[in-house]
Amino acid sequence: MGKLYLVGTPIGNLGDLSPRAAQVLESVDFIAAEDTRVSLKLLNHLGIKKPMVSYFQHNIRQRGQQILDRILAGENCAIITDAGMPCISDPGEDLVALCHENQVPLEVVPGPSAAIAALAASGLPTGRFAFEGFLSVKASSRMEHLESVKNDRRTLIFYEAPHKLRATLEDMARVFGAERRITLARELTKVHEEILRTTLGEACDLYAQREPKGEFVLVVEGAPEPESTLVTKEQAAEMIVQLNGCGVSLSDAAKQVAADTGYKKGELYRMALALQGGEG
Ligand code: SAM
């Protein structure tokens, strides 16, 4: 049995193709490519001559089976897409699942992905994030999608085409609020790379005047933490009594609760004392 190699290719700058990616493309029996004309340019640049089959959205089922049969018969295959990592808003996911179902060994040769490059450069929190891919072209589905992530605290990553950018920014400002921060990562690793950190409102204003050009990743700040529920003075005094009941001196408890709630220590102390019927 052969093997499937998932090979990441550059998202603009050909210098980003790893030596291992080149070595694997050179060594396999054939390459499954999203668009063979685009991939031929990459192979020519590398000086590699290799048989290619096309594997794209509309022939995934039939072509996937053919690729699988060839691997089962002993050939090694590399799958590549026009740019970045296969399977990430690109063909590959079904073939990978098919290989797993048929116990076909698989190796990943990681390369750049626009989503991760944009997130890293965004200046927004990277600890937790959600990749949302492309929004639908249908207005109602787009709004539904945005509404579904409106309260997500994680940083959100979207892919967007230039001709849809204005409408998307407007929809985002409407759903997430004009103050929400966004980083627009444009033409990453290419000559006109631009990383613009702003707010949704300002991005709408900017692109109302400027023609959107090139490829974009939109990295949007997650929803803000909900405002902490306000504690009334009476509740604060109750908290002091409770702490006192747990062995904290009334004075220390008043100091702690005053710091937590912002009320004056002396006032809270007197209220707590009154609640206890004058006993300290
Ligand atoms: N599989 C690719 C990856 O791993 O990044 C993504 C492919 S998806 C079909 C194409 C989208 O990725 C573009 O519409 C754009 O949103 C984003 N993209 C790809 N290359 C980019 C680049 N150099 N700069 C900014 N965005 C890019």
Predicted pLDDT of residue 229: 63
Closest approach atom of ligand 1 to CA 193: 24
Which residue ranges in the chain fall short of pLDDT 50? 280
Closest approach atom of ligand 1 to CA 88: 1
Q: Taking a C-beta distance cutoff of 8 angstroms, is the pair 214, 37 a contact? A: no
Specify the pTM. 0.83
Q: Ligand 1 pocket test: which of 217, 218, 219, 220 has the largest number of ligand atoms within 8 Å of its C-beta?
A: 217
Predicted pLDDT of residue 262: 85
Predicted pLDDT of residue 278: 59
How far apart, in whole angstroms, are the C-alpha atoms of residue 47 and residue 123? 38
Ligand 1 proximity of 91 Cβ (cutoff 6 Å): no
How far apart, in whole angstroms, are the C-alpha atoms of residue 25 and residue 144? 41
If you measure from the C-alpha of residue 176 to the centroid of ligand 1, how many angstroms do you get, rounded to a whole number? Answer: 23
Ligand 1 proximity of 217 Cβ (cutoff 6 Å): yes
